[in-house]
Amino acid sequence: MTLIKSVSGIRGTIGGTVGENLTPPDIIKFTTAFIFIIRRKTGIPVPKIIVGRDARISGTMLTRLVLGTLQGMGARVVDIGLATTPTVEIAVLEEKAQGGIILTASHNPSQWNALKLLNDLGEFFSEQDGQDLINLIENHFDEIQFSPVEQIIEPISKSIYFAKHINLVVENKWVDTEAIRASNFSVIVDAVNSVGGTAIPALLKALGVKKIIELNCIPNGKFAHNPEPIPENLGEISEMMKHSKANVGFVVDPDVDRLAIINEDGTMFGEEYTLVAVADYILSQQPGNTVSNLSSTRALADITKKYGGTYSASAVGEANVVAEMKRTNAIIGGEGNGGVIFPELHYGRDALVGIAIFLTALAKSGLTCSKFRAKFPNYFISKNKIQLSDNIDIDKVLNKIKQDFSADKKVVVSDIDGVKLDFETGWVHIRKSNTEPILRIYAESATKSKADDLAGLVINKVTVR
């Protein structure tokens, strides 16, 4: 089964059997239920909805299904076409819309697609909203009423939001275009043949970068490599960095909410350190609180403490990070997968704002990218995953791990999202993925071998049970 229903939407592989893969009836059901929930939450009978998509080959088909279903429910629809996830989030705010739908499966390969669902704040659905939607589909879908013909409204198209998004980023008070321009950076961009191929070069030009080398920037949806921006998928840009004399490389995922950075020598800056570097600069200008999820590096907590702020950890998932940021009045936050959330713009992961603030910080440091990376506390993360199968009882596994370590006073055990074990020398976090049929087991310590050892403690318990 490759259809995943979660609180933030529906994700699956295109084609196949209804209810087991991402098929037209599944798209129609989720879109219909989404509008019903939006109406109930906002009390607005004719809600305005923003729709945007990444460049996946299946995107035009899904767009037609979504637009037609929204029409059938009597919604006013603004189709912004090819757009990054953060661009759609900003469009919801700018249009004062009641919600949004982004057609993207983020870092998943090209056979996948998904509906990401936004509320009237341009933020992902809460867990409660998502549960209400799934309950509606499973138990009350036949009660939903579609609109009569006289209430059907033709969608309108707007293509202005890339420019609006870029302008908001460039005009932010912490972004220093003069410093960036004076540094005369040479930048390589790998946009994995999706919407970042349009957005990121345009952003860099607006920031004053004169030499931009485009790699996989034609947004045709034919991903040149596995689209998750992690080291094993970034060999091509890494080799280019070694020979091009570029100052920095940027890699984004298909919907441009994750940002990986490549040093001038082709080494990885580290996706965990995208947020750390951006947060360090913001905190140096305006001390405050920060948030990341339980699977993110301790380095963010270290630099937050250095500037006198308070760090908090949330459950994994953008909606959970945002909720904790609001609760703690955090000025910056995000996730260790290269996702930067900067509330001055909007509450969503945004690679564009990450690039602009990172280049500002790099320019003002006067350092090479690799020496800039060396400024920050150094930890190593071991990221592992186990494919789920019917014979793995996840709850039983997690309870056993929790019981095994609860008696150890030197270990802090958290169960707000799977199980996290905090040791003096590092941590390990095991949880079921929200987006793939896998268990994720992440561990962090002062060396790669120690992180692998910590991960191994849990992996053995899962595999041997």
Active-site pick, 106, 183, 194, 292 = 106
CA 354 to CA 341: how far, in whole Å? 8
DSSP 213-278: EEES-S-SS--SS-SS-SGGG-HHHHHHHHHH--SEEEEE-TTS--EEEE-TTS-B--THHHHHHH
- Name the amino acid, one letter, at 443: A
H or E segment and range at residue 422: strand 419-423
Joined together, the tokens standing for residue 20 give 């087991």
Q: For residue 105, which of 233, 177, 14 has the smallest C-alpha distance?
A: 14
User: Which residues lie below 8 Å from residue 463, measured CB to CB, with a gap of 6+?
Assistant: 386
DSSP-assigned letter for residue 126: P
Distances (CA, A) of 127 to 19, 93, 106, 277, 349: 21, 21, 19, 30, 18
Q: Say how far apart CA 459 and CA 465 lie, in whole Å.
A: 10
Tokens read off for 200: 């990121």
What are 117's two structure tokens? 């669902």
Collect all residues with Cβ–Cβ distance below 8 Å to 457 and sequence separation of at least 6: 428
CA dist., res. 218 & res. 426, Å (int): 41
Torsion angle in degrees (nearest 10) through CA of 49, 54, 56, 62: 0
The answer to whether the beta carbons of residues 163 and 130 sit under 8 Å apart is no
Helix (H, G, I), strand (E, B) or coil at 27: helix
Q: How many CB atoms lie within 10 A of CB 302?
A: 15
Nearest to 80 by CA among 156, 9, 27, 152: 156
Residue pointed to by tokens 């008696």:
407
Tokens of 42: 């906002």
244 given a catalytic annotation? no
User: Whole-angstrom Cα distance, residue 230 to residue 213?
Assistant: 20
Q: What torsion do the CA atoms of 96, 58, 56, 438 make, to the nearest 10 degrees?
A: 90
Place of tokens 């603030």: 357
User: Could you list the active site residues?
Assistant: 106
